[in-house]
Amino acid sequence: MEQRENRQEEVLVKPGKKKNRLPGILLSLVLLAAAAAGFLYADDFRLAVEPRGEMEMLVPSGRQYEDPGADVVLYDRWLFPYGLILTEVPVEMRSDMNSKVLGKYSVSYSAQAFGLSATAQRSLRVVDTASPVLTLISSGKTILPGRPYEEEGYIAVDNFDGNLTDQVKRTVGLDTITYTVMDSSGNPTTAERKIPYFDPLPPDLILEGEQTLTVPCGSVYTDPGYTATDNADGDMTEAVAVDGQVLWYQPGTYELVYTVADAFGNVSQKVRTVTVEAQSRPEVNWPKGKVIYLTFDDGPGPYTGWLLDILRKYGVKATFFVTDSGYDAMMTRIVKEGHSIGIHTMTHDYDTIYASEEAFFNDLVGMQDVIYRNTGVKTTLMRFPGGGSNVVSRYNEGIMTRLSQAVQDAGFQYFDWNVDSNDAGGALRAKTVAANVIGGADTHRVSVVLQHDIHAYSVEAVEDIIVWGLNNGYKFLPLKSDSPTMQHTVLN
């Protein structure tokens, strides 16, 4: 026997009480002792049948029902207020349930003990949990894309509803058909058929422009373009992969491979050959007489306007190798007043500029574009940051040897100098700068002078240099593409 919670409303429920089990003989002795002591009264006894588990249960159709069983419980107000399970009292169970027929049923329980009887009932419901079986019929035929698919057939059968084929719904997609069906109990089934397309045709890949091209070195290569269309997938232009690279700054022959594949694995491929051709170099035209080419690097800056005023005062023309310093209006004035303008660098960051040929040319062409936007002049004059003989680029071994050749193949003319004002070194006064330039120019018939218009003392020295040059028979000219370059020996 097991002691249980009292189900009578007038008895306080105390959860957590341990169940007691007593053999039948021991229980009889307990009851006799209680009666002798005057604690047992027939009116105090109550017998109950209490089903185990849920009082309402769902039974899957077609499955054997296994009942959780029920307990016979004896209650007494004084002796067994929480109930005592009579483990040896049999429970009779009866049910009208048929697990093959959907519907509501019940299980009845009854028991007798000590002249008392009790009954209980559990509700059952037989339900259908099995989904219909949906079978797709396939003939193994294939069709060409773009042609309609002819349904090959399908069958839907349910364990209760029987044949549900006529209730199947079809949803046709781009390359799939989805079939759905639901039985009367709400159990769904879904199947999907991949439409058996067969596509033997590859995409039509067309290269715009010529398949063999020749472009001048130094002109950034722009691909003429391509298109790709497929009989099944439509426009596939964005799916085209292009392998290969045209180094527009390096003479040579390059191949670009265009590839596209449709959804059926058909591949089309085309090849374009691009020849980057070195540009011819202008023949140097040495000027007659004594000539000074004044050149200024690293500007424009806050003193460039002052410098232009001095040059205009004496009718002297000079050359400015400019940077992207933010003084755009000064670039415009330089060109309008008849001076030459050339490329120095956008950043003057040696670590960036000389990291690779590609990095250098990106900087070079970028600065060329800045000048063009401000002046309308697409200049090819240039000066290497640090000069052609610089050693700051040695972290990239041999790059100056390669670049000194590459820039000329790309149609640029690079200029060094044969007279250094030293205004970026120890000459920090105008008189020193002037003396350095005059002393150097006095030893050359043709001088290319290096100065920097970002230093006030260097700009201040220009008037003395001009006066000395004019008084000593020198002409001051701006650099042109065929002017003497005064190129240094390359040291890297």
Q: List residues with catalytic annotation.
A: 297, 452
Cα 339 to chain centroid distance, Å, stands at 49
> Cα separation of 331 and 372, whole Å?
10
> Cα separation of 95 and 328, whole Å?
100
> Cα separation of 27 and 87, whole Å?
11
Whole-angstrom CA distances from 55 to 52, 71, 86, 171 are 8, 13, 21, 43
> Cα separation of 35 and 283, whole Å?
138
Residue 317 φ/ψ, nearest 5 degrees: -105, 145
Q: What is the DSSP string of 57-89?
A: EEEETTSPP----EEEEEEETTTEEEEEE-TTS
Burial class (CB in 10 A: 0-12, 13-18, 19+), 488: middle
Q: Sheet containing 188-194: which strands, arranged edge to edge? A: 169-172, 176-182, 188-194
Residue 251 φ/ψ, nearest 5 degrees: -55, 145
Residue 139 φ/ψ, nearest 5 degrees: -95, -10
> Cα separation of 170 and 456, whole Å?
85
Listed residue (272, 273, 271, 275) closest to 252, CA to CA: 275
Beta bridge partners of 207: 226
> Cα separation of 492 and 394, whole Å?
6
> Cα separation of 193 and 168, whole Å?
14
The answer to whether the beta carbons of residues 492 and 399 sit under 8 Å apart is yes
Strand boundaries in 77-132, DSSP class E: 80-85, 92-95, 103-113, 116-127
Listed residue (219, 105, 101, 203) closest to 145, CA to CA: 203
